Structure 1
Amino acid sequence: MLDNSVVLQQDEIPAAKNDKTLISISLVFVFITIALLMMYPDSSQVMAKSMFHGLTSNIGSMVQLFGFIAVCVVLYVGTSRFGTIKLGEGTPEYSDMSWLFMFICAGLGSATMYWAFMEWAYYYNNTGLNISGHTNESLRTSLSYVFFHWGITPWAIYALASITMAYHFHVNKAKGLNLSSLVSSILNLDENSNVSRIIGRTLDLTFLFATFGGLILTTTITIGTVSTGFASLFGIENTFLLKAVLLAFVTLTFTLSSYIGISEGLQKIAHMACGMTFVFGLVVLFLGDTTFIIDFFVNSLGLSLSNFVEMSLFTDVTNNGTFNKDWTVFYWLYWITYTPGVSIFVTRISKGRTIRQVVFGLIAGGCVGCWFFFGSLSGYAVDMFNSGAINVPEILTSTSGDLAIAQLISNLPMGTFLSIFYFLLMMVFLASHLDATAYTVAAVSTKDLQQGQDPERSLRLFWCIMLSLLPLAMLYINASLSTLKTAVTLTAAPFIVVLILCIFGLKKFLSNHNFGK
């Protein structure tokens, strides 16, 4: 995001223009995809399932290996003498607590709230490490796999891209805070050359497509969960019309926020969403069986840490298992879709920090935030299942996870109030996330955007609407989870190449670093 504190005279800033070519190509992609989904809903889902399994089968092991290597690389850099390298001059802009809080909140989005209640149930039905489903062992290890998928590896992937981008921007004094500038520097390309321009345009397009892919899953799951909850609460039918109305409400909210601007819009709605999330996590912890939730949390954390290497590299090749491809590979790709934006965000707020602070701030802060929220909500859901009160895995299999969530929340004291609070919280978080994404996409599709400038307001509003269309199509065809996973997988895969380049780029930057400066 741009630093609005920098005030420049209008005649000192070159006029920024909309990148019409980039916008046009993106629109063609969006509308062709929507048309195919609407015209051939059943065939689209069959093809999506085939593409997902085909891609994960071919590159799944490499994705898992890359995730493990990313952990090793950032931990080595963070603990070595390179960790003392300061990213930029001066003192940090934010206090330690505020800085860490932003990292923690970065791990909590609207779809996260669905997974926090339900992900363990998927693993109880079918888990990894050759553990049989529907057993006490699969129940005991279910949350440990949740902690693994929302823990060290994904935050290490973020850290890898972030410290590479931050070094490039703050230490190498790069002119642009974007992927094309970083890649050109790593490959020793002249940023004004034709090759550099082609690479830059390709990266911008890939960034836009990956953004759409990640949002499809987040938005569709969120709206589906909220619509099911509202239908159950108010005794109405859960129709496509209800989902469309809810999506329209969210779109209107983040469109108004985008129109107002970052300081008065995005910042305030984001703070509200984060505060509400932590309050909800604490309420569930204290209204549920607190002792059971804490005991299950500690046990699951121990299993996740002790089995970390095996979970990271488990491929189940001799048993023809698909758990690692369906979940671990999918999740690493899901996180990768957001990595470019996160790395830019981390770079902007980490001036004056050291590489060590960024690495361990991201990993420790991110893990604490995610593990707290998942531990609280998942622990409560497991307790309801273990005590026989609510059979969450059976509801997930026979009907849907959305209905299971509605029953779990309504079973709490003040269930109706908490249900309304939870579903509104999901919508607020979704609006906040979409607002930030619309701003980022608008910035990418603007030429010559300078520090102190924002993309045109009309362009931001345009992308607010566009970002809602693909999720609307997915809701119309009632897309399965495998279809949504495909959207993430296909759009994230190209960024693996960029992240591999980040490893080589980081080595290049650090090898040439002058510690005498």
Structure 2
Amino acid sequence: MASQPDNVASPIADFKPTVFFGAIAAIGLLILFALFDTDVAEARFATIQSFATHNFGWLLVLTVNVMLIACGYLAFTSLGNVRLGGRDAKPAYSALSWFAMLFSAGMGIGLLFYGVAEPVMHYSNPPISSFSNPGATLPQGLARNAQHAMGLTYLHWGLHAWAIYAIIGLGLAYVSYNKGLTLSIGAFLRAAFPRIPTLLVDLIDVLAITATVCGVAASLGFGASQINAGLGLLAGVPQTGVVKAILIVIITSLATLSVALGLDVGIKRLSEANMLLALGLAIFVFVAGPTVYLLNSFIQNLGYYAQRFIYLSTWTESYTAEDWQSAWTIFYYAWWISWSPFVGIFIARISYGRTVREFIGGVLLVPSLFTFAWMTVFGDSALHIELFGPGGISEAVNASMPDALFAFLSHYPFSQIASGLAIVIVATFFVTSADSGALVTAMIASGGHHEARFVPRVTWAIAIGALAGALLYAGGLGALQTAAIVTGLPFALVLLAMCYGLIKMLRHADRQVAAEEDILDEAAE
């Protein structure tokens, strides 16, 4: 691995009491609220989610589109030539290790949880508006619904999600590697907006930690539910809150061990391992399933996504009375935004030596294409069963989303082995999400220094697991969604400010480089 730059801030962690205790208090209050009266908490979570999505869904749609447009601007202008760490910087990790770590951190559990469930849910319960045919029974109507289901899935898991991560990760990496500041949102804000009050910066760091913990906790809740479903199928383990709590404790303990080992030993090796396992499962489904159909579908899905891209990207249900987006598009955007401090800092941490153009291309395009391929293999294979027989996936998905993957794998040979492998993959993604989240939250709470101490890392790993368990106990998957949305909404404003600040700083740097080159050219003449 290449060495880190000399101008990066000292790796010795600083303790920031305002940020640390403020975030602990916010998360502690959320856990107490969830556990004090579960019936009241579940109703309150539903009310809060409805209010937030109905009144502020437009803000999330606007934010993700601004992020994507900004990525295009940075990649296709001279700003893309800036190298993170300076002209002579070399990448700290190989391309393979880089992709494995950023992908495991950025999506992880969600691909296993939603890979089958989401396309089938959109197929069987399509939105009233848009290009779907709700209630269609003729073959052409069902095929149109299936195609639109994949288009919506691509929307939720594609370029918009990774654009959020790319902008925040690039901003943090630039101020750290090119300006010698700490790897933190606070450091970025001070560099971009020198007059910003210190108290506001600390509050934003508290929000970043709270958003990260809630976003990762949502993923862990989904993972625990899916592992429980798989164990129920293979070993008859009951699907109860107690079992999910035990699973969260066990796997959070493994995550704590991984985060204690550090980035290069624990997180890197585990990320590479679960990527290989996930690829193995995807290849099995691809080969054992309708291979030619999947190849055709992948090309057609990409074309449909490209054709409908602007419409789907700006669709807000304003001309219908339905509320379909709140549980899907708006939730996803809020979920990605709540993950963005965690994923952005983590990607920045591993991206030394990349150019801005390489960073945008790598973070935006490669994971998106991999995700599209993954969703095609699992989603279209499930839709093939629905469209051409024997069916039954829609009923299983609508009955229990955590069961969807295992109901799907039951249609394949060696289903018991495949289901066991799926459980292992979910568990390893669970661990990489938790340990990466704990490492990043510890970095934020210690002022953005690259090597947070052992105790803070372990503290945040435990906090993430505790919140996931409390939310699952209080309101199930709905409570997890609410936590992600409520923390993602205010952080959308921070992202917009960071986008503006990043472009402003890069344009200033680009002008300086151009002026220096002009001076050198004149001297040479």
* Structure 2 length-normalised TM: 0.89
C-alpha change, 1:420 and 1:72, in structure 2 (3 Å) is: same
Asked if residue 482 in structure 1 is aligned to residue 489 in structure 2, the reply is no
Asked if residue 119 in structure 1 is aligned to residue 115 in structure 2, the reply is no
Greater CA drift, 199-208 or 499-508 = 499-508
Deviations 1:413-466 (A, max 9, x none): 11101111101110111011101111222222235x755xx3332332222222
Question: What amino acid is the match of 2:150?
Answer: L
Aligned-residue offset at 1:480:
4.2
Residue in structure 2 matched with residue 57 of structure 1 by the alignment? 54
- How do 1:52-201 and structure 2 match up within 5 A? 52-89=49-86, 90=88, 91-124=90-123, 125-127=125-127, 129=130, 131-135=132-136, 136=142, 137-171=144-178, 173-189=179-195, 196-201=197-202
Q: Which runs of 5+ in 1 are unaligned?
A: 190-194
2:513 is paired with a residue whose SS is coil
Residue in structure 1 matched with residue 274 of structure 2 by the alignment? 273
Residue in structure 2 matched with residue 47 of structure 1 by the alignment? 44
Greater CA drift, 87-96 or 277-286 = 87-96
Question: What amino acid is the match of 1:443?
Answer: M
Number of residue pairs the alignment of both structures matches: 501
Question: What amino acid is the match of 2:303?
Answer: G
2:381 is paired with a residue whose SS is helix
C-alpha change, 1:459 and 1:88, in structure 2 (3 Å) is: closer
Q: Which runs of 5+ in 2 are unaligned?
A: 137-141, 517-525
Aligned-residue offset at 1:349:
3.1
8 Å CA contact 1:70, 1:156 repeated in 2: yes
1:316 is paired with a residue whose SS is coil
Deviations 1:27-57 (A, max 9, x none): 3333332232223222222222221121122
Asked if residue 314 in structure 1 is aligned to residue 315 in structure 2, the reply is yes
8 Å CA contact 1:103, 1:361 repeated in 2: no
Aligned-residue offset at 1:77:
2.2
Asked if residue 495 in structure 1 is aligned to residue 496 in structure 2, the reply is no
8 Å CA contact 1:104, 1:365 repeated in 2: no
2:163 is paired with a residue whose SS is helix
Question: What amino acid is the match of 2:465?
Answer: S
Residue in structure 1 matched with residue 444 of structure 2 by the alignment? 444
Deviations 1:84-121 (A, max 9, x none): 22332223334445444544444431132111111112
Distance in 2 (alpha carbons) for counterparts of 1:13 and 1:319: 54
Residue in structure 2 matched with residue 426 of structure 1 by the alignment? 426
Aligned-residue offset at 1:6:
6.7
* Structure 1 length-normalised TM: 0.90
C-alpha change, 1:167 and 1:13, in structure 2 (3 Å) is: closer
Distance in 2 (alpha carbons) for counterparts of 1:511 and 1:349: 24
Residue in structure 1 matched with residue 462 of structure 2 by the alignment? 465
Distance in 2 (alpha carbons) for counterparts of 1:504 and 1:456: 32
- How do 1:154-303 and structure 2 match up within 5 A? 154-171=161-178, 173-189=179-195, 196-303=197-304
8 Å CA contact 1:186, 1:501 repeated in 2: no
Residue in structure 2 matched with residue 515 of structure 1 by the alignment? 513
Distance in 2 (alpha carbons) for counterparts of 1:349 and 1:458: 22
- The alignment yields a C-alpha RMSD, in angstroms, of 2.5
Deviations 1:127-166 (A, max 9, x none): 3515233531222211111111111112122222233333
Distance in 2 (alpha carbons) for counterparts of 1:35 and 1:166: 36
Residue in structure 1 matched with residue 520 of structure 2 by the alignment? none
Residue in structure 2 matched with residue 192 of structure 1 by the alignment? none
C-alpha change, 1:142 and 1:154, in structure 2 (3 Å) is: same
8 Å CA contact 2:105, 2:433 repeated in 1: no
Aligned-residue offset at 1:489:
0.7
Distance in 2 (alpha carbons) for counterparts of 1:56 and 1:26: 24
Question: What amino acid is the match of 2:163?
Answer: A
C-alpha change, 1:347 and 1:260, in structure 2 (3 Å) is: closer
Question: What amino acid is the match of 1:488?
Answer: A
Question: What amino acid is the match of 2:496?
Answer: I
Aligned-residue offset at 1:324:
3.0
C-alpha change, 1:267 and 1:86, in structure 2 (3 Å) is: closer
8 Å CA contact 1:284, 1:376 repeated in 2: yes
8 Å CA contact 2:101, 2:271 repeated in 1: no
8 Å CA contact 1:104, 1:367 repeated in 2: no
Tell me the percent identity. 23
Residue in structure 1 matched with residue 523 of structure 2 by the alignment? none
8 Å CA contact 1:180, 1:199 repeated in 2: no
Residue in structure 1 matched with residue 389 of structure 2 by the alignment? 388
C-alpha change, 1:322 and 1:25, in structure 2 (3 Å) is: same
Deviations 1:472-501 (A, max 9, x none): 122323x34333221101111121111111
